[in-house]
Structure 1
Amino acid sequence: MMKPFSRFLVLTLFFILTLTACVSATPAVTPTVTETRIELPTATLAPTVVATPTLTQISATDGLGRVVTLDAPAQRVISLAPSNTEILFALGAASQIIGRDSFSDYPPEAVSITDIGSTWETLNLEQLVALQPDLVLAAGIQSPEQVKAMEEAGLTVFLVPNPVTLEDLYTNLEVVGRLCGREAEATALIESLKARVAAVDAKIAVVNQKPKVFYELDASQDPAKPWTAGPGSFHDALIARAGGINIAAGLDSAWAQMSLEQIVAADPDFILLGDAKWGTTPESVAQRPGWSGLRAVKEGRVIPFDDDTISRPGPRLVDALENLAKILHPEIFK
C-alpha cells in the first residue's frame, strides 16, 4: 500500500510543486483568438435566403509556449489533471469530458467518467487515441516529452499554464472556456469568483491582529520534522490574504520540512492539517512528543483542512481563501 507521504508527493509535490508552487511556473499567457470567416455567394433567386456559414479557429498559447489551434470549440475533451477536471465542471462542460486521470475525484460526478489511469509517469497513448478527443488538456504533471508523444500520436494537446496568482487562474478559466465553447460560462464564473475574493479582502482589510499559522502538509515520514508550505506556494499566499502569518514564510523553498524546534520557537496560534486526508488528527498531533506545549494545541486550534482546495489550481482556490479567512478570523465572519 502507498504510504501517506508517497501519496502526498503524488498529489501535492507534482500537482503543486510543478504547478501550484506559485513561483516557478510558466506565467499564463492571454490567448489570442483568430476568426476566419468564409462567405458563400448568395443565390440570386428571390426570395430564397442562403445562410452564410462561418468557420472559427481558436488559437491560444499554452504553458509550454506552444500555439494550439482548434478549428472549432472542443466537444470531446480528455483531462489529465484534477485541476483541469474541476475547471471543466465549473464551466458546465462536464458532458464534454470523455476521459480523466485517476486522481480526478471532484466533484463526485467526475468518478463516473472513463478513467485513463495515472498520468504521473506514463500515458496510455493507445487508449487516449481510441477515445478520439478533440482536445487533451494537460498540466504541469505532464512532461514536455509526454506532450510531444501525444502530439506525434495525432492528438491536439493544450497544457494549461501554471497559475502564479488568482488573476492567472482567471485567465486559465477564460482560455479553457474559449477552447471548449464555454465563453459565457467562463465570464460568469470569473466575475463570481472575483466578487467573492473582493468580499474577503474587504473584511480582512479591517483586521489589526494577524495570527501565526503552521500549515502541515505531511508528517508521516518524521512527525518531528513535518513538510510544510513556504514562500511561493498558494498556501503561503492565501494564508496572507486571509489575514494570517505563515510561520514557514521565511524558509528557503515553497516545499520544505520544518523542525519541531523551529515550530516551537514560532509557537503558532493555529495548526492547519493539510494531511488530514491521510488520517492525521488533532488528537494525534497532541500526542507527538514536544507538541503538547504549543499554543495551538493547548487552545484547541489544531484544525483539519481540505488541502485539495489549495493544491489543485482551480476554482476551489477561492473556497480555500474563504475557509482560511473564517478559521483565522471567525469574529468578522459571524
Structure 2
Amino acid sequence: MEKIMKRLLKILLPLILISSVLAGCGSTTNTAEIEAPMEGVSTSIVLTDGLGREVILASPATRIVSLSPSNTELLYVVGAGDQVVGRDSFSDYPADASALPDIGGGYSEYNLEMLLSLEPDLVLAAEINTAELVQSIEDLGIQVFYIKNPLTLDDLYTTIQDVGLLSGHEDAAQQVISEATERVAVIVSTIENATTTPTVFYELDATDPTKPYTPGQDTFYSTLIQMAGGKNVGDAMETSWAQISLEELLIQDPDIILLGDSIWGITPESLVDREGWSTLSAVQSGNVFPFDDNLLARPGPRLIDGLEALAQVIHPEVFE
C-alpha cells in the first residue's frame, strides 16, 4: 500500500500543480515592468506574482532555488541554468538539474535550513506550494516569486517572459516564446487537414486496472488532446482527475489509448493481458501507445513537445 501511495503521490503532485493549465478561457494577470533608470540609481525589476504580491528585485537574480519541476525547466530553457543553486526533489530535467542540491518537497517537507544555506536571492514557488510555505521562506529574509498555474498557452508564454525578466534573460525568453508560437501554429494548421476526431483514453495510473486514473474535463490534458485533434474520454467524468471504471471505459470504447504510466513500466502488451480490456477498439486495432507523461505533467516549455507528440500519435496520417 505504501508503494502504491508513493507512486500515486508522484503522479498526482505535478497534476495538482497544473490542474487548470490551458483548461479555462481566462488568463492570469501578472504585470511586469522595469523601472526607468535614473542617474546613479540601479534599474530594478517590479513584478506582480501569482499571489497578487508586488515583488521587487534590485537586479536580476543570480542565485535561484526552484520549488517545482516546471520552474526548473523554465529557468533552464531561458538560459538561467547556471544561476540555479537548488531544486525540489522532483526536478530531474534537464539532466544537469539532477546534480543540484535537493531541498526536498517530494515525499518529504522542504528543508528550509538547507535552503537558507544555499544563500539564494530568489526562490521560485509554484501553485503546489502553500502561502504558508512562501511566508516561512520570506521570514528567512529570502525573496519569493510565486508562479500561478497558467490557464492558457498565452499565460504560459507570460510565465516564460517573467522568468526571463527575473533571471536577466529577457531576449532568450522572447526567443523561446517566438519559437513555441511558431511550432503551435504549424501543429494546429496541420491538424486542420484531419478528417476524423478519434476518441482518446489517457491513462495516468492503473495500479487498479478495473478503475484507472485519467484526466477529465477542465484539465490541460483534455485541452491539448483537443488541440491535437482528438476527443478526451475523460471528459465524461465529473471531476478533473478521476478513476474511470472498466464498465464506463467499455461504453466509451476509445479509438486510441495512451499510456502516460509507461514511465512505471506499463506496456501495450501488459494492457492487453488485463481482464476485460481485450475487446476495446483501441486494443483490437493496435492503437495502444506508450506516452512520456513528463511532456504533459509539467506546465513548462515541453508542453509544446507534448502537444506535438499527441498530434502525431492521434493523427499520424497528416504528419506523414
**Sequence identity (%):** 47
What are the within-5 Å matches in structure 2 for residues 63-102 of structure 1?
63-102=50-89
Deviation at 1:176, TM superposition (A): 0.7
Deviation at 1:54, TM superposition (A): 4.5
1:277–1:193: structure 2 CA closer, same or farther, 3 Å change rule? same
> 1:36, 1:150 → 2: CA distance?
29
1:33 aligns with 2:19: no
Paired residue for 2:244, among 258, 273, 287? Answer: 258
Residue deviations 1:24-55, cap 9 Å, x none? Answer: 8x95323221414231xxxxxxxxxxxxx451
Deviation at 1:281, TM superposition (A): 1.1
1:200 aligns with 2:193: no
Residue deviations 1:300-323, cap 9 Å, x none? Answer: 111111111111000000000000
What are the within-5 Å matches in structure 2 for residues 1-334 of structure 1?
3-4=3-4, 6-10=6-10, 12-22=11-21, 27-39=27-39, 53-118=40-105, 122-220=109-207, 222-334=208-320
Q: Which has the larger radius of gyration?
A: 1
> 2:234, 2:257 → 1: CA distance?
12
Q: What is the SS of the residue equivalent to 2:204?
A: strand
Moved more, 323-332 or 112-121: 112-121
1:46 matched to which residue of 2? none
RMSD: 1.8
Deviation at 1:128, TM superposition (A): 1.1
> 2:141, 2:100 → 1: CA distance?
23
Tell me if the contact between 2:213 and 2:241 (Cα under 8 Å) persists in the aligned partners.
yes
Q: Which runs of 5+ in 1 are unaligned?
A: 40-52
Tell me if the contact between 1:120 and 1:142 (Cα under 8 Å) persists in the aligned partners.
no
Partner amino acid for 2:235?
A
Deviation at 1:121, TM superposition (A): 5.2
Q: Which runs of 5+ in 2 are unaligned?
A: none
Q: What is the SS of the residue equivalent to 2:202?
A: strand
Instruction: Give structure 1 regions of 4+ aligned residues with deviation exceeding 4 angstroms.
Output: none
* TM-score for the superposition, normalised by structure 1: 0.91
Size of the aligned set, in residue pairs, is: 319
> 1:298, 1:5 → 2: CA distance?
32
